[in-house]
Chain A
Amino acid sequence: MSIKLKALKKSPWVFHVSAASCNNCDIEILAALTPRFDVERFGILLVGSPRHADALLVTGVINRKSLPRVLEVYNQTPKPCLVIAVGTCACDCHMFKDSYNVVGPYDKYFPVDVYIPGCPPRPEAIIAGVVKALSKL
Chain B
Amino acid sequence: MRRVIPIGPYHPLQEEPEFFKLIVEGEKVVELEINIGYNHRGHEFLSPKMTYEQIAYLVERICGICSNSHPLAFVQAVEDAANIKVPERALYIRTINHELERIHSHFLWLGLAGHFIGYNTVWMWAWKYREPILDIFEMVTGNRNHYAMNKIGGVRWDIKDEQIPIIENILLEVEKATWMFTKAILDDPVILARLRDVGVLPKEVAIDYGVVGPTARASGVNIDVRRDDPHAAYDRIEWDVIVFEEGDVLAKAKVRLFECLESIKIIRQCLRKMPKGEIETKVDEIPMGEGIGRAEAPRGEVFHYVRTSGMNHPIRHKIRAPSYMNIASNAYACVGYSIADAALTLAAVDPCYCCTERIFVYADDKKIMGYEDILKLSWELTEKLKRKYNKI
Residues on A facing B (Cβ under 8 Å): 16-28, 30-31, 34-36, 47-50, 60-61, 63, 65-66, 69, 73, 94-96, 98-102, 119-120, 122
Contacts and interface: CB of A to CB of B under 8 A. Distances in A.
Looking at chain B's contact residues, the main secondary structure is: loop
B23 to A, nearest CB: 21
Nearest to B58: A95
Contact of A30 (B127, B128, B145): B127
Contacts of A26: 15-16, 64
- Chain B: interface size category: 35 or more
Interface string B142-157: 0011100000000000
B61 interface: yes
Nearest to A61: B41
B86 to A, nearest CB: 26
Contacts, number: 114
Of the listed residues A20, A69, A99, A101, the one surrounded by the most CB atoms of chain B closer than 10 A to its CB is: A20
Contacts of A22: 61-64, 67, 354
A95 B61 contact: yes
Given A17-B10, A22-B61, 14 more contacts: A19-B17, A20-B39, A21-B16, A23-B63, A24-B61, A27-B64, A34-B123, A48-B12, A69-B17, A95-B61, A96-B41, A99-B41, A101-B40, A120-B145
Contact of B146 (A18, A24, A63, A99): A24
Nearest to A37: B131
B108 interface: yes
Interface stretch (B42-50, B242-250, B276-284, B299-307): B42-50
A101 B128 contact: no
Contacts of B144: 28, 120, 122
A24 B101 CA distance: 13
Contacts of B54: 95
B46 A98 contact: yes
Contacts of B40: 20, 63, 65, 101
B209 interface: no
Nearest to A26: B15
A47 B9 CA distance: 15
Of the listed residues A27, A61, A73, the one surrounded by the most CB atoms of chain B closer than 10 A to its CB is: A27
Contacts of B61: 22, 24, 94-95, 119
B18 to A, nearest CB: 10
Nearest to A25: B64
B128 to A, nearest CB: 4
Interface in B124-142: 124, 127-128, 131
Nearest to A95: B58
B279 to A, nearest CB: 24
Given A69-B9, A95-B46, A99-B46, A27 B41 contact: no
Given A35-B124, A66-B9, A100-B42, A23 B37 contact: no
